[in-house]
């Protein structure tokens, strides 16, 4: 039984356009097709179609493992004609290479074609939406909708408004993202890098300093996360973790025990000066960790682990398991409505 569409104040979302079919664009396509949305994927290169279909094929087993067989699969169309995609889409994901000048031009061109009510969401991992909407005649419908790889499994999407983005567009975008199984993290205002990538980059910089000082290998540094903090981060995050570390008094007592204003002399938040030795340690360390496994093999293992984790979190009603529970309940009841 097909899902009845959910009405919005503007138009039902049945067909979603994707501009750029790399890793992120293909991830959006897989997530959408599995949930019955039709997808028009645009890319400047005709050869991108085969790669797109291969990535969707890779994603499909993990989606079925997480949600079961889809009731209705959406239809995929590929085009090298931007007008064909932008004129027929009810919602558009921009997933072009991470070059601000390219994205600004692309938003300008899409905005000139797409109907005024169609939301255009950039998958950018750091640019300000105010810049991306700067050449648009309808800047109010431009937002950031930043997902995380693999897009077809991880549920978080950071939505970020630009200076001219309307609150109604943010509301409508949030409803749409929830309808495709996402957890919406709506930022109050724009900032470069948004939230999660700023946190990830801080950890990445510190890790590079440790590697540069030859304290441990890439495997050692990853293990320090995998076997400890990473297990907590998967469902608690930093603030709640430290709240518990304060004992019965929570964060109030934590602050008394560990002065948060201390300027610790052992932290290095700037990137270390790049050098051949650091690059060699980084590349060879990661290759040693891979142990001869291909990227595809590691991706398959990652996906299997993520599926199992989300199912466990669903059992305990916590974290990404809540998003999975919401979608599974709706699908079972036949109320997983398509907008």
* Backbone phi, psi, residue 84, to 5°: -60, -40
Gap between the Cα atoms of 117 and 10, Å rounded: 7
CB 99 within 8 A of CB 31: no
Query: Which architecture characterizes domain 15-194 according to CATH?
Result: 3-Layer(aba) Sandwich (3.40)
For 45, 89, 109, 307, the CA distances from 67, given in Å and listed in that order, are 32, 26, 37, 9
Domain ranges of the chain: 15-194, 197-292
Query: Which architecture characterizes domain 197-292 according to CATH?
Result: Orthogonal Bundle (1.10)
Instruction: Determine the pLDDT at residue 260.
Output: 67
Instruction: Determine the pLDDT at residue 2.
Output: 33
DSSP per residue over 279-338, as a string? HHHHHHHHHHHHTT--HHHHHHHHHHHHHHHHHHHHHTT-THHHHHHHHHHHHHTT---B
pLDDT tens-digit readout, 143-168? 999 999 999 999 999 999 999 999 99
Share of the chain above pLDDT 90, in %: 81
The SS3 assignment for 104 reads helix
How large is the average pLDDT for residues 230-259? 86
Q: β-pairing, 156-161 with 142-146?
A: antiparallel
Place of tokens 């991108």: 48
Instruction: Determine the pLDDT at residue 253.
Output: 86
Instruction: Determine the pLDDT at residue 9.
Output: 43
């Amino acid at each position: 039984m097909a899902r009845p569409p959910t009405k919005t104040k503007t138009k039902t979302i049945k067909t979603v356009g994707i501009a750029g079919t790399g890793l992120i664009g293909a991830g959006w396509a897989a997530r959408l097709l599995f949930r019955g949305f039709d997808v028009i994927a645009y890319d400047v290169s005709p050869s991108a179609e085969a790669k797109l279909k291969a990535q969707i094929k890779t994603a499909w087993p993990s989606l079925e493992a997480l949600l079961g067989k889809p009731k209705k699969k959406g239809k995929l169309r590929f085009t090298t004609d931007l007008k064909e995609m932008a004129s027929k889409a009810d919602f558009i994901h921009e997933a072009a290479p991470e070059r601000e000048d390219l994205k600004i031009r692309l938003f300008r061109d899409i905005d000139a074609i797409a109907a005024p009510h169609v939301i255009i969401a950039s998958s950018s991992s750091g640019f300000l939406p105010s810049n991306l909407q700067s050449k648009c005649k309808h800047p109010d419908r431009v937002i950031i909708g930043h997902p995380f790889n693999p897009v077809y499994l991880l549920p978080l999407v950071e939505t970020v408004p630009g200076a001219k983005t309307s609150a109604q567009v943010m509301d409508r975008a949030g409803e749409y993202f929830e309808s495709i199984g996402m957890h919406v993290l709506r930022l109050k205002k724009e900032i470069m890098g948004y939230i999660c990538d700023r946190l990830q980059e801080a950890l990445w910089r510190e890790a590079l300093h440790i590697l540069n000082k030859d304290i441990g290998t890439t495997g050692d540094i990853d293990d320090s996360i995998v076997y400890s903090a990473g297990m907590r981060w998967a469902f608690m995050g930093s603030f709640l973790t430290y709240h518990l570390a304060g004992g019965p008094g929570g964060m109030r007592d934590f602050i008394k025990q560990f002065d948060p204003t201390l300027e610790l002399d052992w932290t290095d938040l700037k990137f270390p000066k790049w050098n051949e030795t650091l690059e060699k340690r980084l590349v060879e360390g990661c290759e040693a960790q891979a142990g001869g496994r291909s990227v595809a093999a590691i991706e398959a293992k990652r996906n299997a682990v993520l599926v199992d984790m989300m199912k466990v979190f669903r059992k305990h009603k916590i974290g990404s398991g809540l998003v999975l529970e919401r979608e599974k309940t709706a699908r079972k009841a036949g109320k997983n409505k398509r907008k």
